[in-house]
Amino acid sequence: MVGRAERGGGNRYALPVTRPAIALLLLAPSLGCPRPAWPADTVVLLVESPPETLDRRLALSAVAENVAGLLEPGLLRIADDGRPVPDLAESYEQTDPITYLFTLRRGLRFSDGSPLVAADVAATFESLLSPRLASPLAAKFSALSKVEALDDLHVRVRLRAPLAPFLAEMTMGIVPARRQAAPGETGFGRRPAGAGPFRFVSWPDEEHLLLQANPNYYAGAPPIRHLLVETVRDETTRALALESGHADIAVNAISPPLLARLASVPGIAVLRRPGAGTAYLMFRMDDPRLSHRKVREAIACAIDRQALVRYKLLGYGEVADSLLPPQSWAHGPPRPRPGRDLARAQALLDEAGFPRGPDGFRFTLGLKTSTDRFRRSVAAAIAQELSEAGIRVRQEPLEFGTFFSDIQRGEFQIAAMKWVPILEPDLLYWVFDSASIPAAANGFTGFDREGYRDPVLDGILEAARTAPTRRERAADYARAQDILARDLPYFVLWYEDSVAVVRDDIEGFRPSPFGFFDGLATARRVVPPGRER
């Protein structure tokens, strides 16, 4: 369904999306420069930045992980509701609290035609724990005790202790054992071999990566014969490339103001579905003012999330009620999503002991954001709303590297951020358990950057990691979400839709709520009646 832009008419939330957007498009850099000669049947996918590697064991960015996922699937994949389901594995069973048995599909082959067997699976996971590979994802697999190939079709995985979230890590891409003779060698990341729907063809420069339908894929070669992954860093240029027909698909790479423009362009479809990314404000819990729960609640009451979704996201999202997205099996029943209550916000600040001063303000807080134009416009609207409650906001937009470094070191008061995508509810453990506060013990890599501590919540989240059934885990996560809604270490703002912009001669593509590119395995190009490409 194509979204319609809301017109603000002088409203403080409004962001022009018609003539200014057209002007931006006209000012975009020319796309008429010479290009390599790609095959005539090539479909062009636009991404915001180049993948740093095509080896999923080393991928950190979403682009690298999503592109590598087209080449190197795992034993399992993540279904739309966040459940791990079979992929290269035909089935799996848990034989005891720490042991899983995976049965591979028969006849699996890598893209070069060689067979994929259980020994390749065992070698992949062994390499992830090898210092020679130095995978940045190694910590996710520290629970592994042993992975053994029982025969060509069966793999037994033993853990050191029960860990229910571990199945989500079995989505790691499987690579050939013979390519792991020298783990970490850069050649594999540049010329990978996997068993996915596409296979590697060439990577002539940083901006262009050519893939081809894999005839050995277990589900059959995709209808798209050639896929070009093209990096275009400027959003306006991406929009122009889609409008002009230079490109065919962009997934979660266009912000709402330009989506509104593209939705009205003939020959373009804007496809959307509820996404698994959550935008939020994070409060530093040891700040002299933000340590007061009433101050955090006052900030929540002063912000009009409905208006922000309507006028900033232009309807491409919905107000959130938890960090976990609604489609997650652990989200539970809907929770209240109250609107703005400025009178209550002011009363809470009075009760917390922060009256207005002679200048009308109670105190000043810093709000850190990235320099992204859309995120900055949201921060400006939030600052205006908080000023009406008597909180002066000092906006601090930072280049992403600096922004992320400050967040990791706890050098912020409020930070506007987004988790995307949220695949496993165990994220709550990593984000809110006291053991995850960045410290020397965890190498300052913990995700509890707000410094939140609650021993009751710690116990609940740790129990959810070892609960024997999904039903018991869901009950634990429901209790955890209720505590977080009460304490407000985060104030969740909205769930952003997963949005794909596609040319109308591409059919069969469905956006993933997690932003995955796997819909390309079933998409195809058609020629609309009366028009040749």
According to DSSP, residue 199 is labeled E
Least trusted range by pLDDT, from 54-63, 145-154, 156-165, 291-300: 54-63
pLDDT digits (tens, 9 = 90+) for 419-462: 988 889 999 999 999 999 988 877 777 899 999 999 999 999 99
The CA distance from 200 to 212, in Å, is 6
- Return all residues near 220 (Cβ < 8 A) that are at least 6 apart: none
Question: What one-character-per-residue DSSP string does 271-337 give?
Answer: EEEEEEEEEEEEE-TTSTTTTSHHHHHHHHHH--HHHHHHHTSTTSEEE-SSSS-TTSTTS-S----
In sequence order, the β-bridge partners of residue 140 are: none
Taking alpha carbons only, the member of 393, 463, 404 closest to residue 429 is: 463
Q: Do domains 30-51+192-273+498-525 and 62-188 have the same CATH topology?
A: no
The residue-averaged pLDDT of 49-59 equals 93
pLDDT digits (tens, 9 = 90+) for 358-370: 999 999 999 999 9
Q: How much is the pLDDT for 442?
A: 74
- Give the CA-trace dihedral at 55, 59, 65, 67, to 10 degrees: -50
pLDDT digits (tens, 9 = 90+) for 186-213: 577 888 999 999 999 999 999 999 999 9
Q: How far is CA 530 from CA 441, 527, 533, in A?
A: 65, 8, 10
- Structure-token match 């429901």, residue found: 478
The CA distance from 245 to 355, in Å, is 57
Q: Is 217 exposed, middle or buried (0-12, 13-18, 19+ CB in 10 A)?
A: buried
State the fold for domain 62-188.
Answer: Dipeptide-binding Protein; domain 1 (3.90.76)
What is the CATH architecture assignment of 275-496? Roll (3.10)
pLDDT digits (tens, 9 = 90+) for 393-413: 999 999 988 998 899 889 999
Whether 201 contacts 224, CB under 8 Å: no
Helix ranges (H only) for 46-180 are: 62-71, 118-128
The CA distance from 225 to 274, in Å, is 29
- pLDDT(324) > 70: yes
Tell me which H or E stretch contains 235: helix 235-244
- pLDDT-derived band at 98 (thresholds 50, 70, 90) equals very high
Q: How much is the pLDDT for 107?
A: 97
The CA distance from 207 to 49, in Å, is 8
Domain regions of the chain by residue span: 30-51+192-273+498-525, 62-188, 275-496
User: Please, what is the average pLDDT of the chain?
Assistant: 90
Q: How much is the pLDDT for 185?
A: 52
Dihedral of CA 215/221/224/228: which sign? negative
Q: Which two tokens stand for residue 197?
A: 């729907």
Radius of gyration of the chain (CA): 24
- Give the CA-trace dihedral at 71, 114, 174, 86, to 10 degrees: 90
- pLDDT(20) > 90: no
End-to-end C-alpha distance for the chain, whole angstroms: 24
β-pairing verdict for 490-503 and 268-283: antiparallel
Whether 244 contacts 222, CB under 8 Å: no
- Structure-token match 């003539």, residue found: 19
- Its pTM stands at 0.85
Q: Which two tokens stand for residue 193?
A: 């071999």
pLDDT digits (tens, 9 = 90+) for 60-97: 889 999 999 999 999 999 998 889 999 999 999 999 99
- pLDDT-derived band at 178 (thresholds 50, 70, 90) equals confident
What is the CATH architecture assignment of 30-51+192-273+498-525? 3-Layer(aba) Sandwich (3.40)
In sequence order, the β-bridge partners of residue 278 are: 419, 495
Q: How much is the pLDDT for 133?
A: 87
The CA distance from 266 to 504, in Å, is 9
Phi/psi class of residue 302: alpha, beta or left (left: φ > 0; alpha: ψ in -120 to 50)?
alpha
β-pairing verdict for 42-47 and 226-231: parallel
Whether 425 contacts 330, CB under 8 Å: yes
